[in-house]
Amino acid sequence: MKAYERLLNYVKYDTTSDENAPEDLCPSTENQKVFGAALAEEMKRIGFADAHMDADGYVYGSLPANCAGKQPVIGLISHMDTSSAASGANIRPRLVKYTGGDIVLNPEKNIVLRESEFPCLAKCRGMELIVTDGTTLLGGDDKAGIAEILTAAEALLARNIPHGKIAVAFTPDEEIGRGADRFDVAGFGADFAYTVDGGVLEEFSYENFNAASALVTVHGVSTHPGDAKDKMKNAALLGMQFHSLLPPDEAPEHTEGREGFYFLEHIEGGTEKAVLRYIIRDHDKEKFEARKSYLRQAAAYLNGKYGKGTFDLSLKDSYYNMRPVVEKNPEIVARAERAMRRAGVEPNVTPIRGGTDGAMLSFRGLPCPNLPTGGHNCHSRFEFVSVPEMDRVVEILVNLVSA
Protein backbone atom coordinates (compact mmCIF):
# COMPACT_ATOMS: atom_id res chain seq x y z
CA MET A 1 0.00 0.00 0.00
CA LYS A 2 1.21 3.51 -0.83
CA ALA A 3 1.62 6.08 1.93
CA TYR A 4 -0.99 8.40 0.42
CA GLU A 5 -3.54 5.56 0.37
CA ARG A 6 -3.01 5.07 4.09
CA LEU A 7 -3.43 8.79 4.67
CA LEU A 8 -6.74 8.84 2.77
CA ASN A 9 -7.96 6.15 5.15
CA TYR A 10 -6.57 7.72 8.31
CA VAL A 11 -8.23 11.11 7.80
CA LYS A 12 -11.62 9.42 8.19
CA TYR A 13 -10.89 9.34 11.92
CA ASP A 14 -11.69 12.56 13.79
CA THR A 15 -8.82 12.79 16.29
CA THR A 16 -8.99 16.46 17.31
CA SER A 17 -7.44 16.90 20.75
CA ASP A 18 -8.98 19.13 23.43
CA GLU A 19 -6.79 21.57 25.33
CA ASN A 20 -9.63 22.21 27.79
CA ALA A 21 -9.82 18.57 28.88
CA PRO A 22 -8.60 17.84 32.43
CA GLU A 23 -4.88 17.16 32.52
CA ASP A 24 -5.43 13.80 34.18
CA LEU A 25 -7.49 12.68 31.16
CA CYS A 26 -5.30 10.97 28.56
CA PRO A 27 -5.98 11.07 25.75
CA SER A 28 -8.00 14.26 25.86
CA THR A 29 -10.56 12.86 23.38
CA GLU A 30 -11.81 9.29 23.17
CA ASN A 31 -11.69 9.20 19.35
CA GLN A 32 -7.90 9.15 19.52
CA LYS A 33 -8.13 5.72 21.12
CA VAL A 34 -10.40 4.51 18.32
CA PHE A 35 -7.73 5.48 15.81
CA GLY A 36 -4.96 4.10 18.02
CA ALA A 37 -6.66 0.71 18.26
CA ALA A 38 -6.99 0.58 14.47
CA LEU A 39 -3.30 1.42 14.07
CA ALA A 40 -2.26 -1.30 16.52
CA GLU A 41 -4.22 -3.86 14.51
CA GLU A 42 -2.69 -2.63 11.25
CA MET A 43 0.79 -2.90 12.76
CA LYS A 44 0.12 -6.52 13.71
CA ARG A 45 -0.92 -7.27 10.12
CA ILE A 46 2.29 -5.67 8.82
CA GLY A 47 4.47 -7.73 11.14
CA PHE A 48 4.91 -5.82 14.40
CA ALA A 49 4.59 -8.78 16.76
CA ASP A 50 4.40 -6.62 19.90
CA ALA A 51 2.09 -3.90 18.59
CA HIS A 52 -0.33 -2.61 21.23
CA MET A 53 -2.08 0.46 22.59
CA ASP A 54 -1.62 1.22 26.27
CA ALA A 55 -4.22 2.54 28.71
CA ASP A 56 -3.33 6.16 27.89
CA GLY A 57 -3.77 5.76 24.15
CA TYR A 58 -0.09 5.50 23.16
CA VAL A 59 0.57 2.97 20.40
CA TYR A 60 3.87 1.06 20.44
CA GLY A 61 5.48 -1.65 18.37
CA SER A 62 8.87 -2.77 17.08
CA LEU A 63 10.52 -4.66 14.25
CA PRO A 64 13.27 -7.02 15.45
CA ALA A 65 16.74 -6.70 13.95
CA ASN A 66 17.34 -8.93 10.95
CA CYS A 67 21.08 -8.48 10.53
CA ALA A 68 24.28 -9.48 12.33
CA GLY A 69 26.43 -7.06 14.25
CA LYS A 70 25.60 -4.41 16.80
CA GLN A 71 23.17 -1.81 15.51
CA PRO A 72 21.53 1.07 17.40
CA VAL A 73 17.84 0.81 18.22
CA ILE A 74 16.24 3.59 16.18
CA GLY A 75 12.87 5.07 17.09
CA LEU A 76 10.29 6.59 14.73
CA ILE A 77 7.48 8.68 16.22
CA SER A 78 4.41 10.52 14.92
CA HIS A 79 1.28 11.81 16.62
CA MET A 80 -2.32 10.78 16.11
CA ASP A 81 -4.21 13.91 17.13
CA THR A 82 -5.00 16.92 14.98
CA SER A 83 -5.21 20.60 15.83
CA SER A 84 -8.46 22.24 16.90
CA ALA A 85 -7.58 25.31 14.78
CA ALA A 86 -9.91 23.92 12.10
CA SER A 87 -12.47 21.12 12.16
CA GLY A 88 -11.14 17.57 11.97
CA ALA A 89 -14.56 15.96 11.50
CA ASN A 90 -16.06 14.75 8.21
CA ILE A 91 -12.89 15.41 6.24
CA ARG A 92 -13.45 15.05 2.50
CA PRO A 93 -10.05 14.66 0.84
CA ARG A 94 -9.50 14.47 -2.89
CA LEU A 95 -6.57 14.02 -5.23
CA VAL A 96 -5.75 16.73 -7.74
CA LYS A 97 -3.07 16.86 -10.42
CA TYR A 98 -1.65 20.32 -9.89
CA THR A 99 -0.58 22.14 -13.04
CA GLY A 100 -0.38 25.65 -11.61
CA GLY A 101 -2.64 28.51 -10.62
CA ASP A 102 -5.43 28.32 -8.06
CA ILE A 103 -7.25 25.21 -6.81
CA VAL A 104 -10.98 25.56 -6.25
CA LEU A 105 -11.58 23.54 -3.10
CA ASN A 106 -15.28 24.24 -2.75
CA PRO A 107 -17.17 25.89 -5.64
CA GLU A 108 -20.40 26.19 -3.64
CA LYS A 109 -18.73 28.17 -0.86
CA ASN A 110 -16.16 29.83 -3.12
CA ILE A 111 -13.23 28.48 -1.10
CA VAL A 112 -10.08 28.71 -3.20
CA LEU A 113 -6.48 27.69 -2.50
CA ARG A 114 -4.72 30.59 -4.22
CA GLU A 115 -1.13 30.37 -5.40
CA SER A 116 -0.72 34.10 -4.71
CA GLU A 117 -1.58 33.55 -1.04
CA PHE A 118 0.24 30.22 -0.65
CA PRO A 119 3.45 30.46 -2.70
CA CYS A 120 4.45 26.95 -1.57
CA LEU A 121 2.13 25.75 -4.33
CA ALA A 122 4.59 26.92 -6.98
CA LYS A 123 7.10 24.15 -6.21
CA CYS A 124 4.32 21.57 -6.40
CA ARG A 125 3.51 22.04 -10.08
CA GLY A 126 3.30 18.69 -11.82
CA MET A 127 2.62 16.87 -8.52
CA GLU A 128 -0.45 15.01 -7.36
CA LEU A 129 -1.77 16.67 -4.21
CA ILE A 130 -4.26 15.67 -1.52
CA VAL A 131 -6.48 18.64 -0.64
CA THR A 132 -9.59 19.23 1.46
CA ASP A 133 -13.00 20.57 0.46
CA GLY A 134 -12.08 23.80 2.24
CA THR A 135 -14.30 23.26 5.29
CA THR A 136 -11.87 21.21 7.43
CA LEU A 137 -8.19 20.65 7.88
CA LEU A 138 -6.72 17.58 6.18
CA GLY A 139 -4.97 15.95 9.12
CA GLY A 140 -1.68 15.36 7.37
CA ASP A 141 -0.20 16.82 10.56
CA ASP A 142 0.57 14.19 11.59
CA LYS A 143 -1.30 11.34 9.95
CA ALA A 144 1.00 11.72 6.94
CA GLY A 145 3.89 10.88 9.26
CA ILE A 146 2.11 7.78 10.55
CA ALA A 147 1.36 6.65 7.00
CA GLU A 148 4.97 7.13 5.95
CA ILE A 149 6.37 5.23 8.95
CA LEU A 150 4.11 2.21 8.40
CA THR A 151 4.69 2.22 4.65
CA ALA A 152 8.45 2.26 5.26
CA ALA A 153 8.10 -0.63 7.73
CA GLU A 154 6.12 -2.61 5.18
CA ALA A 155 8.82 -1.96 2.55
CA LEU A 156 11.59 -3.09 4.90
CA LEU A 157 9.85 -6.40 5.54
CA ALA A 158 8.75 -7.00 1.95
CA ARG A 159 12.24 -6.36 0.55
CA ASN A 160 14.07 -8.00 3.48
CA ILE A 161 16.30 -4.93 3.87
CA PRO A 162 18.90 -5.41 6.66
CA HIS A 163 18.19 -3.26 9.71
CA GLY A 164 18.68 -3.15 13.45
CA LYS A 165 15.76 -3.10 15.85
CA ILE A 166 13.25 -0.37 15.01
CA ALA A 167 10.92 1.03 17.67
CA VAL A 168 7.75 2.81 16.55
CA ALA A 169 5.34 4.92 18.60
CA PHE A 170 2.26 6.98 17.85
CA THR A 171 1.29 9.51 20.49
CA PRO A 172 -1.93 11.27 21.48
CA ASP A 173 -2.37 14.95 22.40
CA GLU A 174 0.78 16.35 20.78
CA GLU A 175 -1.13 19.36 19.50
CA ILE A 176 -2.01 20.43 23.05
CA GLY A 177 1.53 19.94 24.35
CA ARG A 178 0.90 16.69 26.24
CA GLY A 179 2.18 14.13 23.76
CA ALA A 180 5.38 13.31 25.62
CA ASP A 181 3.86 13.46 29.12
CA ARG A 182 3.13 9.73 29.48
CA PHE A 183 5.49 8.40 26.83
CA ASP A 184 7.23 5.25 28.08
CA VAL A 185 10.83 6.13 27.20
CA ALA A 186 12.30 3.10 28.98
CA GLY A 187 9.81 0.68 27.48
CA PHE A 188 10.26 2.20 24.02
CA GLY A 189 13.89 1.16 24.25
CA ALA A 190 15.38 3.32 21.48
CA ASP A 191 18.90 4.74 21.63
CA PHE A 192 17.66 7.78 19.72
CA ALA A 193 14.59 8.60 17.64
CA TYR A 194 13.15 10.86 14.98
CA THR A 195 9.74 12.44 14.89
CA VAL A 196 8.20 12.44 11.41
CA ASP A 197 6.21 15.61 11.97
CA GLY A 198 7.66 18.29 9.71
CA GLY A 199 6.43 19.88 6.51
CA VAL A 200 8.39 20.76 3.37
CA LEU A 201 10.38 17.81 2.03
CA GLU A 202 13.83 19.40 2.34
CA GLU A 203 13.40 20.65 5.90
CA PHE A 204 15.24 18.78 8.64
CA SER A 205 15.14 20.25 12.13
CA TYR A 206 16.75 19.79 15.50
CA GLU A 207 16.00 23.24 16.88
CA ASN A 208 12.59 24.45 17.99
CA PHE A 209 10.91 27.13 20.05
CA ASN A 210 10.96 27.25 23.81
CA ALA A 211 7.24 27.35 24.54
CA ALA A 212 4.85 28.34 27.30
CA SER A 213 1.15 29.02 27.67
CA ALA A 214 -0.31 31.97 29.54
CA LEU A 215 -3.81 32.33 30.94
CA VAL A 216 -4.88 35.83 31.91
CA THR A 217 -8.11 36.02 33.91
CA VAL A 218 -9.53 39.50 34.46
CA HIS A 219 -12.00 40.05 37.30
CA GLY A 220 -14.30 43.00 36.79
CA VAL A 221 -17.19 44.63 38.59
CA SER A 222 -20.58 44.78 36.89
CA THR A 223 -23.13 47.47 37.60
CA HIS A 224 -26.03 49.01 35.70
CA PRO A 225 -24.45 51.15 32.98
CA GLY A 226 -26.67 54.04 33.93
CA ASP A 227 -25.18 54.04 37.42
CA ALA A 228 -21.64 52.91 36.59
CA LYS A 229 -19.51 55.98 37.27
CA ASP A 230 -16.59 55.10 39.57
CA LYS A 231 -18.11 51.65 40.18
CA MET A 232 -17.90 49.53 37.06
CA LYS A 233 -14.70 47.71 36.12
CA ASN A 234 -15.27 46.29 32.66
CA ALA A 235 -13.20 43.10 32.51
CA ALA A 236 -13.37 42.91 28.71
CA LEU A 237 -11.93 46.43 28.35
CA LEU A 238 -9.30 45.75 31.00
CA GLY A 239 -8.28 42.63 29.06
CA MET A 240 -7.82 44.81 26.01
CA GLN A 241 -5.59 47.10 28.07
CA PHE A 242 -3.44 44.12 29.05
CA HIS A 243 -3.03 43.12 25.43
CA SER A 244 -2.22 46.69 24.41
CA LEU A 245 0.90 46.52 26.61
CA LEU A 246 2.39 43.80 24.40
CA PRO A 247 4.62 44.90 21.50
CA PRO A 248 2.44 44.71 18.36
CA ASP A 249 5.32 43.71 16.09
CA GLU A 250 6.04 40.62 18.23
CA ALA A 251 3.04 38.66 17.00
CA PRO A 252 3.18 35.55 14.76
CA GLU A 253 2.06 37.45 11.67
CA HIS A 254 5.05 39.80 11.95
CA THR A 255 7.83 37.33 12.79
CA GLU A 256 9.91 34.68 11.05
CA GLY A 257 13.00 32.52 11.46
CA ARG A 258 14.21 32.60 15.05
CA GLU A 259 12.10 35.62 16.02
CA GLY A 260 9.83 34.91 18.99
CA PHE A 261 6.31 36.12 19.62
CA TYR A 262 3.28 36.51 21.87
CA PHE A 263 0.19 34.93 20.31
CA LEU A 264 -3.28 35.76 21.60
CA GLU A 265 -5.05 32.60 20.44
CA HIS A 266 -8.35 33.06 22.29
CA ILE A 267 -10.25 35.82 24.07
CA GLU A 268 -13.71 35.79 25.63
CA GLY A 269 -15.63 37.55 28.36
CA GLY A 270 -17.80 40.40 29.44
CA THR A 271 -18.03 42.97 32.18
CA GLU A 272 -17.53 40.68 35.18
CA LYS A 273 -14.91 38.36 33.77
CA ALA A 274 -12.66 38.07 30.75
CA VAL A 275 -10.14 35.39 29.79
CA LEU A 276 -7.20 35.74 27.42
CA ARG A 277 -5.15 32.71 26.35
CA TYR A 278 -1.66 33.23 24.95
CA ILE A 279 1.18 31.10 23.75
CA ILE A 280 4.72 32.45 24.15
CA ARG A 281 7.53 31.32 21.88
CA ASP A 282 11.24 32.05 21.46
CA HIS A 283 14.23 30.00 20.29
CA ASP A 284 16.57 31.85 22.64
CA LYS A 285 16.17 30.70 26.28
CA GLU A 286 17.03 34.09 27.80
CA LYS A 287 14.56 35.89 25.54
CA PHE A 288 11.95 33.25 26.36
CA GLU A 289 12.36 33.88 30.08
CA ALA A 290 12.25 37.63 29.43
CA ARG A 291 8.92 37.27 27.63
CA LYS A 292 7.38 35.48 30.61
CA SER A 293 8.81 38.11 32.93
CA TYR A 294 7.27 40.86 30.80
CA LEU A 295 3.81 39.29 31.17
CA ARG A 296 4.26 39.17 34.95
CA GLN A 297 5.26 42.84 34.97
CA ALA A 298 2.24 43.77 32.84
CA ALA A 299 -0.14 41.98 35.23
CA ALA A 300 1.53 43.57 38.27
CA TYR A 301 1.36 47.04 36.72
CA LEU A 302 -2.36 46.72 35.98
CA ASN A 303 -3.11 45.24 39.41
CA GLY A 304 -1.39 48.29 40.88
CA LYS A 305 -3.64 50.50 38.79
CA TYR A 306 -6.98 48.68 39.20
CA GLY A 307 -6.59 46.80 42.46
CA LYS A 308 -4.93 43.62 43.67
CA GLY A 309 -6.48 40.49 42.20
CA THR A 310 -7.98 42.19 39.16
CA PHE A 311 -5.54 40.30 36.93
CA ASP A 312 -4.62 36.67 37.55
CA LEU A 313 -1.77 35.35 35.42
CA SER A 314 -0.98 31.66 35.11
CA LEU A 315 2.14 30.60 33.17
CA LYS A 316 3.04 27.04 32.23
CA ASP A 317 6.07 25.86 30.25
CA SER A 318 5.20 23.45 27.43
CA TYR A 319 8.55 22.40 25.93
CA TYR A 320 12.10 23.61 25.36
CA ASN A 321 14.51 23.98 22.48
CA MET A 322 15.99 20.53 21.79
CA ARG A 323 19.13 21.86 20.08
CA PRO A 324 21.48 21.70 23.12
CA VAL A 325 20.59 18.02 23.60
CA VAL A 326 20.74 16.93 19.97
CA GLU A 327 24.04 18.72 19.31
CA LYS A 328 25.65 16.40 21.85
CA ASN A 329 24.75 13.55 19.49
CA PRO A 330 26.05 14.68 16.08
CA GLU A 331 25.84 11.18 14.57
CA ILE A 332 22.04 11.17 14.65
CA VAL A 333 22.03 14.43 12.69
CA ALA A 334 24.57 13.08 10.18
CA ARG A 335 22.56 9.86 9.82
CA ALA A 336 19.42 11.76 8.84
CA GLU A 337 21.29 13.99 6.41
CA ARG A 338 22.84 10.92 4.72
CA ALA A 339 19.42 9.28 4.45
CA MET A 340 17.96 12.37 2.81
CA ARG A 341 20.81 12.74 0.33
CA ARG A 342 20.57 9.05 -0.64
CA ALA A 343 16.94 9.78 -1.53
CA GLY A 344 18.01 12.74 -3.67
CA VAL A 345 16.92 15.37 -1.16
CA GLU A 346 19.39 18.04 -0.06
CA PRO A 347 18.62 18.73 3.64
CA ASN A 348 17.80 22.28 4.62
CA VAL A 349 18.48 22.48 8.36
CA THR A 350 15.75 24.79 9.57
CA PRO A 351 14.60 25.88 13.04
CA ILE A 352 11.05 24.74 13.73
CA ARG A 353 8.66 27.61 14.39
CA GLY A 354 6.74 25.29 16.67
CA GLY A 355 7.50 22.15 18.61
CA THR A 356 7.26 18.38 18.51
CA ASP A 357 7.00 15.53 20.98
CA GLY A 358 10.69 15.11 20.27
CA ALA A 359 11.50 18.38 22.00
CA MET A 360 10.39 17.11 25.41
CA LEU A 361 11.57 13.56 24.76
CA SER A 362 15.06 14.92 24.05
CA PHE A 363 15.13 16.31 27.59
CA ARG A 364 13.96 12.93 28.91
CA GLY A 365 16.99 11.16 27.50
CA LEU A 366 15.76 10.33 23.99
CA PRO A 367 17.42 12.70 21.47
CA CYS A 368 14.83 13.22 18.78
CA PRO A 369 15.25 15.48 15.70
CA ASN A 370 12.38 16.08 13.30
CA LEU A 371 11.95 14.84 9.73
CA PRO A 372 9.57 16.16 7.03
CA THR A 373 6.26 14.68 5.88
CA GLY A 374 5.63 16.57 2.63
CA GLY A 375 2.72 18.43 4.21
CA HIS A 376 1.89 22.12 3.75
CA ASN A 377 -0.33 24.71 5.48
CA CYS A 378 -1.00 22.57 8.56
CA HIS A 379 -3.67 23.65 11.08
CA SER A 380 -5.65 25.11 8.18
CA ARG A 381 -8.50 24.29 5.84
CA PHE A 382 -5.99 25.05 3.10
CA GLU A 383 -3.77 22.18 4.24
CA PHE A 384 -2.49 19.85 1.54
CA VAL A 385 0.00 17.01 1.17
CA SER A 386 2.16 16.15 -1.82
CA VAL A 387 1.87 12.49 -2.92
CA PRO A 388 5.36 12.26 -4.49
CA GLU A 389 6.90 13.94 -1.45
CA MET A 390 5.25 11.34 0.79
CA ASP A 391 6.86 8.63 -1.36
CA ARG A 392 10.22 10.36 -0.97
CA VAL A 393 9.83 10.50 2.83
CA VAL A 394 9.21 6.75 2.84
CA GLU A 395 12.48 6.33 0.95
CA ILE A 396 14.26 8.57 3.47
CA LEU A 397 12.95 6.47 6.36
CA VAL A 398 14.05 3.21 4.74
CA ASN A 399 17.53 4.71 4.22
CA LEU A 400 17.57 6.01 7.78
CA VAL A 401 17.06 2.67 9.49
CA SER A 402 18.93 0.44 7.02
CA ALA A 403 22.04 -1.22 8.43
The reply to whether 89 and 199 lie within a common domain is: yes
The reply to whether 23 and 145 lie within a common domain is: yes
The angle formed by the CA atoms of residues 199, 380 and 323, to the nearest 5 degrees, is 35
The reply to whether 88 and 164 lie within a common domain is: yes
The reply to whether 284 and 141 lie within a common domain is: no
**Residue 293 belongs to what domain range?**
210-319
- C-alpha 352/C-alpha 371 separation (Å) is 11
- In this prediction, residue 151 carries a pLDDT of 98
Can 227 be counted among the known catalytic residues?
no
The reply to whether 354 and 389 lie within a common domain is: yes
140, 80 contact by CB (below 8 A): no
- C-alpha 242/C-alpha 299 separation (Å) is 7
What count of Cα atoms within 13 Å lies in the side-chain half-sphere of residue 277? 7
- C-alpha 55/C-alpha 17 separation (Å) is 17
Q: Which amino acid is at 17?
A: S
The reply to whether 388 and 262 lie within a common domain is: no
List the one residue out of 165, 137, 141, 168 whose CA is nearest residue 79.
141
> Which CATH number do you get for residue 389?
3.40.630.10
- C-alpha 74/C-alpha 190 separation (Å) is 5
List the one residue out of 62, 59, 56, 65 whose CA is nearest residue 78.
59
- In this prediction, residue 68 carries a pLDDT of 86
380, 86 contact by CB (below 8 A): yes
For residues 19-48, one letter each, b for 16 or more C-beta atoms within 10 angstroms of the residue's C-beta and e for the rest, the string is beeeeeebbbbebbbebbebbbebbeebeb
Give tens-digit pLDDT for 301-349: 999 999 999 999 999 998 999 999 999 999 999 999 999 999 999 999 9
Picking from 264, 296, 319, the residue at the C-terminal end of a domain is 319
The reply to whether 19 and 143 lie within a common domain is: yes
Can 81 be counted among the known catalytic residues?
yes
In SS3 terms, the chain reads as CCHHHHHHHHCCCCCECCCCCCCCCCCCCCHHHHHHHHHHHHHHHHCCCCCEECCCCCEEEEECCCCCCCCCCEEEEEECCECCCCCCCCCCCEEEECCCCCEEEECCCCEEECCCCCHHHHHHCCCEEEECCCCCCCCHHHHHHHHHHHHHHHHHHHCCCCECCEEEEEECCHHHCCCCCCCCHHHHCCCEEEEECCCCCCEEECCCCEEEEEEEEEECECCCHHHCCCCCECHHHHHHHHHHCCCCCCCHHHCCCCCCEEEEEEEEECCCEEEEEEEEEECCHHHHHHHHHHHHHHHHHHHHHHCCCCEEEEEEEEECCCHHHHCCCHHHHHHHHHHHHHCCCCCEECCCCCCCHHHHHHHCCCCCCEECCCEECCCCCCCEEEHHHHHHHHHHHHHHHEC
- C-alpha 323/C-alpha 228 separation (Å) is 54
The reply to whether 362 and 378 lie within a common domain is: yes
The reply to whether 88 and 135 lie within a common domain is: yes
DSSP bridge pairs for 77: 169, 195
- In this prediction, residue 397 carries a pLDDT of 98
- In this prediction, residue 226 carries a pLDDT of 92
Picking from 297, 319, 341, the residue at the C-terminal end of a domain is 319
- C-alpha 147/C-alpha 39 separation (Å) is 10
> Which CATH number do you get for residue 294?
3.30.70.360
- Out of 133, 174, 175, 203, which one is annotated catalytic? 174
The reply to whether 263 and 336 lie within a common domain is: no
The reply to whether 32 and 81 lie within a common domain is: yes
- In this prediction, residue 93 carries a pLDDT of 98
- C-alpha 87/C-alpha 189 separation (Å) is 35
For residues 213-231, one letter each, b for 16 or more C-beta atoms within 10 angstroms of the residue's C-beta and e for the rest, the string is bbebbbbbeeeeeeeeeee
| Dihedral (Cα; 98, 99, 101, 104), 10-degree rounding | -40
- Out of 81, 142, 203, 395, which one is annotated catalytic? 81
The reply to whether 310 and 218 lie within a common domain is: yes
pLDDT per residue as tens, the chain (403 positions): 999 999 999 999 999 999 999 999 999 999 999 999 999 999 999 999 899 999 999 999 999 999 988 999 999 999 999 999 999 999 999 999 999 999 999 999 999 999 999 999 999 999 999 999 999 999 999 999 999 999 999 999 999 999 999 999 999 999 998 999 999 999 999 999 999 999 999 999 999 999 999 999 999 999 999 999 999 999 999 999 999 999 999 999 999 999 999 999 999 999 999 999 999 999 999 999 999 999 999 999 999 999 999 999 999 998 999 999 999 999 999 999 999 999 999 999 999 998 899 999 999 999 999 999 999 999 999 999 999 999 999 999 999 999 8
- In this prediction, residue 193 carries a pLDDT of 98
31, 13 contact by CB (below 8 A): yes
- In this prediction, residue 49 carries a pLDDT of 84
- C-alpha 26/C-alpha 94 separation (Å) is 32
Picking from 319, 343, 360, the residue at the C-terminal end of a domain is 319
Task: Count up the domains in the chain and report the number.
Answer: 2
